[in-house]
């Protein structure tokens, strides 16, 4: 089951249909192997300074996985496409790390240390 991707543009960013499709496509490619565990994705793109310019755009990706903490990736820059690319790449790495840790914790067995026999 593929997750729902909710794209929210806020504060001075207008996303064209083509850019929205690109964001969905890029995230689908980056997280393709990992989609079996992702329940929902939210993408927030905002422009902090509006028309003033500068490195003030933010891209935040929030991933919800069953039984695991929410993963939040934030990228900052001046080009929306480059930010989405970098954030998607970092999201894939974060999911890999999280699933790897969760898998290793489940497979690790804690053994009770044995104490040495007391000398009498």
Where residue 59 sits, what CATH number does that domain have?
3.30.160.100
Over residues 97-119, mean pLDDT:
61
Domain count of the fold of the chain: 1
Interatomic CA distance for residues 17 and 72, integer angstroms: 24
Indicate whether 45 belongs to any domain.
yes
Domain boundaries, position 66 = 4-100
**pTM beyond 0.95:** no
End-to-end CA distance of the chain: 64
4-10 vs 40-47, strand pairing mode: parallel
Mean pLDDT, the chain, integer: 78
Specify the pLDDT at position 55.
Answer: 67
Q: What is the pLDDT of residues 9-51, one digit of tens each?
A: 677 777 888 988 898 888 888 887 665 578 888 888 888 776 6
Indicate whether 74 pLDDT > 90: yes
* Main-chain dihedrals φ then ψ at residue 90, nearest 5 degrees: -65, -35
Indicate whether 73 belongs to any domain.
yes
Please give the angle made by the CA atoms of 88, 100 and 91, to the nearest 5 degrees.
Answer: 10
Indicate whether 107 belongs to any domain.
no
pLDDT-derived band at 103, boundaries 50, 70, 90: confident
Indicate whether 115 belongs to any domain.
no
């Amino acid at each position: 089951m593929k997750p729902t991707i909710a794209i929210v543009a806020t504060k001075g960013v207008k996303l064209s249909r083509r850019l929205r499709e690109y964001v969905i496509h890029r995230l689908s490619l980056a997280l393709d192997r990992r989609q079996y565990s992702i329940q929902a994705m939210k993408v927030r793109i905002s422009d902090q300074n509006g028309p003033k310019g500068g490195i003030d755009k933010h891209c935040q990706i929030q991933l919800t996985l069953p039984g695991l903490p929410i993963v939040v990736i934030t990228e900052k820059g001046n080009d929306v496409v480059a930010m989405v690319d970098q954030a998607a790449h970092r999201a894939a790495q974060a999911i890999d790390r999280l699933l790897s840790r969760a898998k290793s914790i489940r497979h690790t067995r804690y053994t009770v240390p044995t104490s040495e026999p007391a000398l009498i």
